[in-house]
Chains A and B, each alone.
Chain A
Amino acid sequence: MDYGISGRVAIVSGGSRGIGKAIATTFAHEGAKVVIASRTQSNLEETLAELEEIAPGRVHGIAASMTDPESVKRVVAESRDRFGPISIAISNVIGHVIDAAKEGSGPGAGTFEGMETESYREEFTQLMISSWALARECVPDMKAQHWGRICNIGSGVAREPSTHLPHLLPNVVRPPVAGMHRLMAARLATHGITVNNILTGSILTERNRSYWVWLAKERNITVAEATQDMTNRIPLGRFGEPSEMAALVAFLCSDQAGMVTGQSIPVGGGGSAHL
């Protein structure tokens, strides 16, 4: 199926690894001009080399922090200069990591009793400010084309906060981010711009793998047991591949999905209990 993405300019934040990389790869295959932004230059170069193989001359990378509105402005301007007006904006920024030494414990780990309010603000910057700034910078181009696709890579906890894991920050900030996209969808619908949000569930990424290692240590079980325990919670009986997230994102960014907007859609192998 021709998704109508070919020739369109797409920006993918956090595009050098995991889910962001899978999305950038899918867009490259679909013929889009793809800009990936990432904080780490080395990851960026490695991924760019792979993308260049798929889409010679149609990929560009920018080292930037996508949580700083000024830096987002620079990324969007540079992308526009390079390829033309932006049609697709994918926000994919991870949550605040409170203690990098304990990264395996997952971003935003902590309890209500112990969490300082400053950390809530950090998480707000990571998740909310980043996606707000990217959408805001890209909307004028999309309005001018009367066509735009905004998609946020969120988390299933936006709809069903996780209470079996002590990860307070995403539980508190993911719902507002989902709500913001719903609200933006209402504001932008008459401009041919759709806005959607992915409720990421159990997807196999490096971050998930490092989380299992941490969990195994925490519960004094083997990594295989921890992995099995997490897998048992998924009705489809396996973790999803990043490419399976990318498949939905590509569809949402297609011409065919032009009537789908303001939605939060889970990709989690049926792990979402919400109706």
Chain B
Amino acid sequence: MDLQLKGKVVSVCGPDEAILDACRQALKAEGAVIASPTSDGAYPLADAVVAVGGVNPGSDLLEISDPDDLYAAWDDMTNAVSAYRSALPQMLEHKWGRFVWVGSAQAKSVDAEADELAAVTSLGMLGLNKVITGEVGSNGITANAVLRGGVATDEDVANAVTFLCSQGAAYLSGITITVDGGAGSGIF
């Protein structure tokens, strides 16, 4: 399948290096050009932005005593928002763009191993994806999420990310693809 990503510039950002690397490899294999934030922290112009959320395994909101821990997770999320906004003007100009958030499947289906901070920030991005879809979707720009759960490998996740960046995913926006090997129990 030609995903028609050849020459597309994809910005990949977030605090989880292993999954970022898997995304870079998968996208490069389809001919995409990878752009990363510059050393001064500025986000590059790009046709697609892949933002990976932070992970805090076992984080429990009721056990957290310092609100700064909540703010830190939120700021990680809004860094992704900044990357999205930096890329938006060029996407509007080109009438083509892809935003993909990589977050936690806990956002949609709770289990005992919940990373609650990741669940919460992912839900913020799912809301934002709907906003982006409503606001700029008619310009060929989509905003989606890949939610990882179960024992999904970085490659499993990167494959879904690459699909959502592709031309074939042009009519998908505001959706989530849960990559969890069927672990989640919710229907909706």
Contacts and interface: CB of A to CB of B under 8 A. Distances in A.
Given A183-B114, A275-B188, A173 B134 contact: no
Interface residues of A, number: 40
A58 interface: no
B123 A184 contact: no
B114 A112 contact: no
A258 interface: no
B110 interface: yes
Contacts of A174: 127
Given A157-B127, A172-B128, A180 B85 contact: no
Contacts of B110: 182-183, 186, 262
A28 interface: no
Given A113-B88, A175-B124, A179-B119, A124 B131 contact: no
Nearest to A160: B130
B110 to A, nearest CB: 5
Secondary structure call for the B interface: helix
Contact of B62 (A113, A161, A188): A188
A178 interface: yes
B86 to A, nearest CB: 11
A171 interface: yes
A274 interface: yes
A112 B132 contact: yes
B62 A112 contact: no
Contacts of B159: none
Contacts, number: 105
A117 B81 contact: yes
A120 interface: yes
User: Which of B62, B127, B132 has the most chain A CB within a 10 Å cutoff?
Assistant: B127
Nearest to B112: A186
B130 A69 contact: no
Contacts of B60: 187
A121 interface: yes
A220 interface: no
Given A112-B131, A120-B81, A171-B130, A176 B62 contact: no
Given A117-B78, A121-B75, A163 B131 contact: yes
Given A180-B116, A180-B120, A274-B188, A175 B126 contact: yes
Interface in B121-150: 121, 123-128, 130-136
Interface stretch (B1-9, B30-38, B43-51, B66-74): B66-74
Q: Which 8 A-B pairs have the closest CB atoms?
A: A163-B134, A161-B130, A175-B123, A176-B120, A117-B78, A176-B123, A179-B123, A175-B127
5 contacts: A112-B85, A113-B85, A157-B127, A173-B124, A175-B126
